[in-house]
Structure formats: C-alpha cells, structure tokens
Amino acid sequence: MYKLLTLLILLCSTLNAQPPSRFYTKFGGNGVDIGYGVKQTLDLNYIIVGSTTSWGFGAADVYLLLVDTMGQLKWQKTFGGAFADVGKSVIFNPADSGFVITGYTASFGNGGYDLYLIRTDKNGNLVWQKSYGGLDWDFGQDLSLTSDGNIVACGKTYSFGFGKADGYIVKVNLSNGSLIWQKYYGGAEDDDFVSIKLTSIGNNYLAGNTKSYGDINNDFWMFKIGNMGDSIASLNFGTPNKAEYCYDFMEDANNKLVFCGSYDTSFYNINKNNAYINKRDLNGNYVAEIQYSGAGGNDKLLSVAKQKSNNNYFFSRSVFKPGFSIEAQPFLLDNNLNFINATTYVTPNVEETYDVISTADNGFVMVGYSNGLSSNNIEDVLLIKLDTTVLNAISIVGVDEVIDNFNIKIQLYYYNNKVFIKNLIKGNSFYQLFDETGKLIEYGYSNSNEINFKSNLVGNSIYLLRLNNNLNFKFISF
C-alpha cells in the first residue's frame, strides 16, 4: 500500500542546500496565533514567543516555537491555565541554553492579570513558572539578563504605585524564579515600560511612555536603574502638545540609544501618526530625531535592531493603508537616519511584525502575525527572514503546494522501504540526497519521471533533495 509523504518546501533555485537568506512563512492552527518576540539561538535557529488560541489549556496560552534555519518548525509548546496567558518577550539563557519568557497571566497569581515569567530548558520543557503583582492588573512586556546573571523584567502595574498605571520592574533569581525585588515608578497619570536592555556600561536602561512628566498627551520615557532597582536617571522627551508613543529602543555600535515609535501629527492627537525616531547618548543628551510618513496616516515603528557588521538600523514598520489593511514593512536606515531601503510583506490583507532582530548572517528576522496567509482569515504567527537588501523574500508557506520550474505539482510516495517521486522530472536527471546536516547520503541519475532512492530513510527525519544542481527541495519522511 502506498503512503503519501509530506513535502514541505522548495528552498532555492541554485547552488547547494544552504539555509535561505530570504523567506517568509507562518505557523498556527485554527485559532488566533500571534508572535510577539524572537531571538536567534546559538545553533542559529529561531525561538519565537507569543500567544495561541489554537492549542493549550484555556482561552489563550503562551506560545513558544523553535524554527530552524530553513523556516521549518522543530517543536512548539504552550504554557498557561484556564484563562488568558500571553508571552511578550523571550531571551536565551546562557546557563543551560534554555529560554526565559515574560508576559502576563490571568490563570495564576494574585488577581486580574499578573506579570508572568517562565523558564524552560533548551527543548522548551518547563523548569519553573512564576507570577508577580498585586490585586489589580500587572503586565510584563520585556526582560533582560542583569550584570549578576539574574533576570529583570519590566511592564506596567495598576496594583502598586502613584497613579493610574506605573512602570513596573521585577528582579528574580534565574535558578528558581524567587523575587529579589520589585519597583514601580511614575506619577499621577499613565506610565509604563515597554523595553529593557543591559547596556555596554553595565546598567539596565528602560524605554517607555509617560503622561505624568512633561506632556499629558504622552512622551517617550528613558529610565536607568542600578543593581538594586534604584532610579539613576529619568528623562522624558517629545514635542509639547503632541502624543509620541515609544515601542522599542536599542544601543548602537557607537553607544547611542535609538528609540522608535510614533508621532501624532494631528491637531487633536487622533492617531494620525508618522514613524518617529529619537536618538540619545547614554546620558540622555539629544543626538538626532526624524519622522517618516506613510501613505495611510497611521505609521509607526514597532521594533529596532542594529545590523551585525555595521551600524545600519533595521526597523519593523507598521503602515496603515486605505481599505483597512496594515502592512508589515522592513525599513532600513544608516546610522545617520538616512533612508536606505524598504519593502512590504506579505499580502494585501493585514500583517504586523512586533519584533525584529539582527542575525548571524548580517540579515534580519521579524515576527508578528498575518491573516492574509491564513485559510480562514484568522491571525497566524508570521516569520520573515531577510538579508542585507531587505528585498524579495520568497514564500515557504504552502505545504503540499510546491511547484517546480515547469509548474508540475510534486508527489512523493513510500513503498517497500523505498521512496520515489512522481511528476517531478522528465528524462535523465542528476540527483543528490542530503540529510538535515548537509551530509551527502547518495546520488545518481533517474531514468524516468521518478527517483527510486537506494537508501532507507529514517522515519520522521528531514531530507534535502537536489536536482540537476539547481533545484532544492526539503521533505520529511514518516
């Protein structure tokens, strides 16, 4: 009896079976699945965190995915309980090559939502999970390692503080999640922290938003803390009577802090936004700022990263378009904030990417969501991998829809421990078969439109097939 194998993707059209430098793909099920944070692992895979209603324990759960360099899912995990749980950021744990996640949970804790921290091993298995907060709502947004090897997470709290919402910081022991200290900062109005980074001078800096200091409409907020969470510096900046919202920041190669977000250009601050960048030194002194305008009137920069080999800046840009579509736009600037390049992914529907990182090959990865790639127009996790040009990524979304240069749909069959491929080639063709590590297993020539491999394939393993030195396909055996 024949057994149909699953063909995953056409990887590239030339050369060898190297990881593609440009692609986009999606992950998820029948529910709402969103990616909020991404990092590259030591073995160059991608760890993604977000939320899912497709799998898990309750209304929404923390969603953790490991994706390989080919854009294929290696494993996925969920964490949470009966109510809504969301993962917002993930970092690599150098202690055991595992991961630490922050976000928020309504399933565990003291009341409402609580800041949520999860530690896993390198395979995504739970090591510990903890919640932090009071009787009201408390949210985790980002996290970082500290100079003493523990974890500090930031967000906002309605349980503690001085006003409506305040910036919230917790420091916990990496080994067991026990609370070392918690701090809250702000004034009489809404204040929050959205990003935290350990800088070159050994201090954790935070970026956020404040309505308590400066402008009631909202200003960018730069904050610096010591090892005990004490406030070393606090600075708000923005234009009077204008609403500026910060979403992320980073330290560049020249030890400057680059903050990104949006600038409301409307008279009454009704969300007619330009993309906005404000650059400061480590003391908060002004260096530069710039705005970029999109065609739809609601343009913002949601994340920023620095290119590995130089000081170019890469932003994840969200552009609202007439007809109620949102474009996820890779946006590349030089270190003087001059425009280099930009493009748009992926469909005419709605895509946004919330996090961007630089990668070891001098490219970038963005993660967010797409409803245009979904068969039911519900959000799926969107992953975009780009090279230095940020242009012309190929789609590897379609499972079982791979088409070669002759528009022939591929079929793989398994029979008597052998694999042969129908409707792929015509006449004699040279083929090579590699395992996932790139090791050549066998090679030869076909004598018809099928290949009968001489090797026995290991079940549930990934293989690479190269045809005539210019077509590469990836498939998994069962």
pLDDT tens string 233-243: 999 999 999 99
186 by DSSP, 3-state: which? coil
SS3 sequence of 225-255: ECCCCCEEEEEEECCCCCCEEEEEEEECCCC
Longest Cα pair distance anywhere in the chain, in angstroms? 78
pLDDT of residue 399 exceeding 50, the answer is no
Helices then strands, counting H and E runs in the chain, come out as 0, 37
pLDDT per position as a tens digit, 445-475 = 776 666 777 777 776 567 777 777 666 666 6
Averaged pLDDT for residues 411-416:
49
Sort residue 271 into left (φ over 0), alpha (ψ -120 to 50) or beta: left
Q: How far apart are CA 56 and CA 83, in angstroms?
A: 11
Non-local (6+) Cβ contacts of 226 within 8 A are 203, 232
**For residues 256-280, average pLDDT:** 92
CATH of the domain spanning 21-395: 2.130.10.10
**Mean per-residue pLDDT for 126-148?**
97
For 90, phi then psi, to 5°, come to -140, 145
pLDDT at 214: 86
Q: Answer yes or no: are the C-beta atoms of 358 and 366 closer than 8 Å.
A: no
Token couple for 439: 């090791």
Quickly state the pLDDT bin for 431 (edges 50, 70, 90).
Answer: confident
The pLDDT, as a whole number, for residue 156 is 98
Instruction: Kindly report whether the peptide bond that precedes residue 38 is cis, defined as omega within 30 degrees of 0.
Output: no
CA distance 208 to 248: 8
d(CA 65, CA 68): 10
Mean pLDDT throughout 14-36?
A: 80
DSSP helix/strand/coil, 462: strand
Q: How confident is the model at residue 61 (pLDDT cuts 50, 70, 90)?
A: very high
The SS3 of residue 275 is strand
Mean pLDDT of the chain: 86
Predicted pLDDT at 460: 58
Contact partners, residue 267, CB within 8 Å, separation at least 6: none
Which stretch of 69-73, 76-80, 144-148 has the lowest confidence by average pLDDT?
A: 69-73
Per-residue pLDDT, averaged over 368-393, amounts to 88
CATH topology agreement for domains 1-20+401-478 and 21-395: no
Contacts of 3 (CB under 8 A, 6+ apart): 413, 414, 415, 478
Percent of the chain with pLDDT over 90: 63
Pull the structure tokens for residue 341.
């390049």
Give the domain 1-20+401-478 fold. Immunoglobulin-like (2.60.40)
For residue 459, what pLDDT is reported? 62
Residues 215-226, mean pLDDT to the nearest whole number: 96
For 220, the enclosing helix (H) or strand (E) is: strand 219-225
Residue 385: which residues within 8 A CB-CB, separation 6 or more? 20, 21, 22, 23, 24, 71, 359, 363, 364, 365, 393
Residue 30 confidence (pLDDT) above 50 = yes
Smallest CA-to-CA distance from 263 within 292, 285, 303 is with: 292
Q: Can you tell me the mean pLDDT for 425-433?
A: 67
Q: How confident is the model at residue 17 (pLDDT cuts 50, 70, 90)?
A: very low
Backbone φ and ψ of 239, nearest 5°? -85, 135
Long-range contacts of 235-241 (CB under 8 A, 24+ apart): 235/280, 235/284, 236/210, 237/278, 237/280, 237/284, 237/286, 238/214, 239/215, 239/263, 240/215, 241/215, 241/217
For the chain, domain boundaries: 1-20+401-478, 21-395
| Res 478 pLDDT > 70 | no
Confidence grade of residue 71 (pLDDT, cut at 50, 70, 90): confident
Answer yes or no: are the C-beta atoms of 212 and 195 closer than 8 Å: no
Min mean pLDDT across 72-86, 187-201, 411-425, 451-465 is at: 411-425
Residue 366 in tokens: 């963005």
Tell me what pLDDT residue 150 has: 96
Residue 300 and residue 273 in contact, taking contact as beta carbons nearer than 8 Å = yes
Which one, of 8, 2, 3, 4, lies nearest residue 465 by Cα? 8
Task: In whole angstroms, give the CA distance from residue 454 to residue 258.
Answer: 56
